[in-house]
Amino acid sequence: MPVKKRTVKKELPVYPVLLAGGSGSRLWPISRELFPKQLVNLVGDDSLIQNTIKRLSPVLRPDDVRIVCGEDHFFEIGRHLEALHISSDDKVISEPCGRNTAPAILLAVLEILKKEKDVIILIFPSDHVISDVEKFQKNLKTTITLANAEYIVTFGVKPDYPETGYGYIEGAKKIKGGARTIKRFIEKPDEKTAETYLRAGNFFWNSGMFAFKASIILREYRTHEPAMLKSMQNMVSKNNVTLKNYEKLPDKSIDYAIMEHTKRGVVLPVDFGWSDIGSWKSLYDFLPKEEDDNVTEGDVILQNTRGCFIRGDNRLVVANDLENIVIVETPDTVFVSDLEKSKNVKAIVQDLKKQGRKEYKSHLTVYRPWGTYTILEESSMSKIKRIVVYPGAKLSLQMHYHRSEHWIVAQGTAKITNGDQVIILKENESTFVPKANRHRLENPGRIPLHIIEVQMGHYLEEDDIVRYDDDFGRK
């Protein structure tokens, strides 16, 4: 009698997808629209997005990571990947505008399925922190097993106090792996309700982390969000993910669009020291405390001060006789608040935006595809910048009607187009760019190029620029 060959199921590839949208306005003034918290070194020497990638290894391959972000952050996120020796090619997926997590996740799934027949996908917000990485990685393995069994898994963090700033998930029947079926999702409760959840033992903080098969989640979109799926498939298949098309998508979270309706949802209770770093208070709570329960960073001197979070940038910060206060100093802003109420800074950021203040949007140092520029001094008639151009990079070919520019090379070698001339300048050499002259700055060298730029004129705004191509020479 012939022996039947046992068929071995081939394991599906596993792709981690990081969601890196949002501006993190509750962590202003460090986190700003053009440089949000996921790009900032808030815990240790790495940015939050780099920390998120590092803790996936060795369970998941960092080379398989995909990151969904806004267009303004595309190049800087790529550089954060390269700093970890991970090629950024095809790994950063940009949205023309933010439309919440349901479209962002769907976009990532469809982009991955251009190359794969089916995969396991794990979703991680890129701005969270975890203290027990070993326990986290053990939970990753469990979620992959559950996803292979065609469950849609969400991580539910076991609460250790009645938090009112998080959404909750009520777990029901226990299944394998310690997971529970999902009874319901709950919006942020008041303190009394949160206390009852804590005592009940089957309510968990909604972490925003998920695991599922791509084929299974697409089936759920087809059932519960068919219009969104059809629109996104049309955009992705035609490589036509444009602002005009994307902004028509509904602004929905994955919870509201899929998880509240699916029959396949399960919650895996976890306890690995998780925080979403949603405010200065939550960052204070996560970080180790110094003497008198203070957390400090930078050049800080304290006297008779306790329970405070104080972060300096490039100036000495001295605090005297304070308690439960947050002080955050940046080159252009100082934020001071009661620590418990520091999350209310979000309303201040909205006011700054209404007033047209640039501090809500960018720091004095602005990151561009070609490098950075820092505003050193500014008046109605002049502006002084420090420009750093990465090796091999160049700015767009441009011209200004209302201002002239003087460039002085402080470090490196500059290749400069100035009218009909192309010249090479080295350290301590300079050139003058008159009004209405076409000009371009390039770095042909192997080290960063540092330029001091002095702008003079009656009109110094960005819309004075006439561009002939972009920062890659494309017309």
Given a contact cutoff of 8 angstroms between Cβ atoms, the answer to whether 389 and 441 are in contact is: yes
Joined tokens for residue 318: 């001295």
Average pLDDT, stretch 231-248?
Answer: 94
Q: How far apart are CA 387 and CA 88, in angstroms?
A: 24
pLDDT of residue 60: 93
Instruction: Tell me the pLDDT band of 460, cut-offs 50, 70 and 90.
Output: low
pLDDT tens for 184-207 read 999 889 889 999 999 998 999 999
- pLDDT at position 318: 97
Question: Can you give the pLDDT at residue 289?
Answer: 95
User: Token digits for 74?
Assistant: 């595309």
Assess contact for 78 and 90: CB atoms under 8 A: no
Query: What is the identity of the amino acid at 27?
Result: L
Averaged pLDDT for residues 369-389: 92
Whether the predicted pLDDT of 9 surpasses 90: no
Q: What is the pLDDT of residue 176?
A: 83
| pLDDT tens, position by position, 248-278 | 999 999 999 999 999 999 999 999 999 888 8
CA separation for the pair 108, 93 (Å, rounded): 7
Tokens of 372: 């950075």
Residue 462 reports pLDDT greater than 70: no
Question: What CATH number does the domain located at 14-275 have?
Answer: 3.90.550.10
**Positions of CATH 3.90.550.10 in the chain:** 14-275
Band of the pLDDT at 452, cuts 50, 70, 90?
very high
pLDDT grade for 457, boundaries at 50, 70 and 90: confident
Q: How high is the pLDDT of residue 2?
A: 52
Backbone Cα Rg of the chain: 25
pTM confidence score = 0.89
User: Does pLDDT of 157 surpass 60?
Assistant: yes
Q: Is the pLDDT of residue 3 over 70?
A: no
User: Where in the sequence of the chain do the CATH 2.60.120.10 domains occur?
Assistant: 365-467
- The average pLDDT across 94-101 equals 93
The CATH number, out of the four listed (2.60.120.10, 3.40.50.1820, 3.40.50.720, 2.102.10.10), of the domain defined by the range 365-467: 2.60.120.10
Return the pLDDT at 471.
74
pLDDT of residue 380: 81
Q: Is the pLDDT at 8 greater than 80, yes or no? A: no
pLDDT at 4: 52
Tell me the average pLDDT of the chain: 92
Give the integer Cα–Cα distance in Å for 411 and 417. 18
